[in-house]
Amino acid sequence: MCDPTMILMAAGKAAEISASNQAAEAQQQAAIEQQTLMNTQRAQEIEEVNRKAGLELTEAKRESLRAQASARTASAESGALGGVALRNLANVYMQDAIDSGSIVSLAESDVVRIGTQSQADFLETRSRINEAESKKSTGVGAALQIAGAGVSGNPQKFNTWIS
């Protein structure tokens, strides 16, 4: 028959393992929930970058149209030859392309920065999940810990019990 001290020690160890596993599970769940929030935040940041770039492109296009109209009006009023008017319009179109390219390039850089931060967030979360997982005791390891706790309660009885 088993010694009650051994049973109590083993039961206590089983409860300790269960509590430790539950705490580790809670840490993992908290890390996952935080990652979900960070993902939402990063998606909102990307939406903001795209919205800002869209507004800047719209404003740049308006400025380009104003500049085109001014160039056409100036060439018509001055009676300038066709070459001068074409050069002025070409400059306006070139500046429009440069402005638009700069706006898009800056927006892409911001999106890449956000993506890099998102990857760093994910790796940090993965590390926290792995750390919590390493604190869990399951299967044979848990059984050995429980048996060891029972043995530590009364090693003489355990030795005679296994003999």
Instruction: Give pLDDT, residue 11.
Output: 78
CA-to-CA dists, residue 95 to 89, 100, 163, angstroms: 10, 8, 93
Where do the domains of the chain lie? 4-162
Question: Is 17 in contact with 142 (CB distance < 8 Å)?
Answer: yes
Distance CA 122, CA 125 (A): 5
38 burial (CB, 10 Å; 0-12 / 13-18 / 19+) is middle
- What are the pLDDT tens digits along the chain (163 aa)? 457 777 777 778 788 888 888 999 999 999 999 999 999 999 999 999 999 999 999 999 999 999 988 888 877 776 656 677 778 888 999 999 999 999 999 999 999 999 999 999 999 999 999 999 888 877 767 777 777 766 665 555 544 544 4
Q: Which of 139, 151, 142, 150 is CA-nearest to residue 11?
A: 150
- The helix (H) or strand (E) run that includes residue 154 is none
Contacts 24+ apart (CB under 8 A), 89-93: 92/64, 92/67, 92/68, 93/64, 93/68
